[in-house]
Amino acid sequence: MRSMLLAALCVALPLSAAHAADPIEILPDAKAATGEITEIDIDKMAFLTPEVKIKSGQIVRWTNKEAVAHNVHFRQGPAKTVKGAMGPMLNVNEAYAVKFIEPGTYNYICTPHSAVMKGKVIVE
């Protein structure tokens, strides 16, 4: 009985620790997000505020203001392995929001327009 309990703990603890260690939290309803929010508009093939500095625990919300679809993709850095780190394609007036938990530098791109659309969130 003890060996079965020990085996179960050996499996469960690393899984819960891995989940707790996510440096960001993707918010499922970006428009309904509340708290300290930094807004970044997407327009004219650009992230209009390409670099922001925030404190740990704050939220960044990207809103697409143009007819061309865009996304936010953390393809490198601390968030690259988080599920949802490649955000969905956003049509006009759609949004994507992320709560930043761990300090660090989070570089991101728009996947289909990565040559011209890059940004950075610095979390203190």
- Band (52; pLDDT cuts 50, 70, 90): very high
Instruction: Check whether 19 is labelled as a binding-site residue.
Output: no
Tokens of 113: 């327009």
Give me the sign of the Cα torsion angle 15, 16, 20, 25. positive
Instruction: Check whether 45 is labelled as a binding-site residue.
Output: no
Tell me the pairing of strands 59-64 and 118-123.
unpaired
What is the pTM assigned to this prediction? 0.83
Instruction: Check whether 73 is labelled as a binding-site residue.
Output: no
pLDDT average, residue stretch 93-113: 97
Which of 2.60.40.420, 3.40.30.10, 3.40.50.10490, 3.50.50.60 is the CATH number of 23-123? 2.60.40.420
Note the pLDDT of residue 21: 79
Note the pLDDT of residue 20: 56
Phi-psi region of 118 (alpha: psi -120 to 50; beta: other; left: phi over 0): beta
Average pLDDT over the chain, rounded to whole?
A: 88
Instruction: Check whether 4 is labelled as a binding-site residue.
Output: no
Cα separation values, 117 from 47, 92, 108, Å:
6, 17, 9
